[in-house]
């Protein structure tokens, strides 16, 4: 399953790269990409794991950039 979420107020390209690396390392993630310019996160993972993966991804994102708002 592929899920694309909007990352509002993403301001740091270096942080976006770190987010992508951290999310890719999560168990169950097949692929993950953060597009800094478009402010989008694309995650591919099994459908049954997607909610848990997105919750973990949100923690990674907020640790690196606390002001980012995530919109599904």
Extract the tokens encoding 46: 């099994």
pLDDT in tens, the chain (72 residues): 999 999 999 999 999 999 999 999 999 999 999 999 999 999 999 999 999 999 999 999 999 999 999 997
Residue 10: strand, helix, or coil = coil
CATH code (residue 60): 3.30.70.100
Question: From CA 44, how far away is CA 29, in angstroms rounded?
Answer: 6
- Count of domains observed in the chain: 1
Task: For residue 56, count other CB atoms closer than 10 A to its CB.
Answer: 17
Q: What is the three-class DSSP state of 51?
A: helix
Q: Which domain holds residue 47?
A: 2-71
Query: What is the pLDDT at residue 60?
Result: 97
């Amino acid at each position: 399953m592929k899920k694309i979420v909007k990352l509002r107020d993403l301001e740091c390209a270096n942080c976006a790269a770190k987010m992508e690396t951290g999310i890719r390392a999560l168990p169950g993630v097949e692929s993950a990409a953060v597009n800094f310019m478009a402010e989008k996160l694309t995650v591919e993972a099994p459908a049954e794991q997607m909610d848990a993966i997105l919750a973990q991804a949100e923690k990674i994102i907020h640790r690196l950039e606390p002001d980012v708002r995530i919109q599904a």
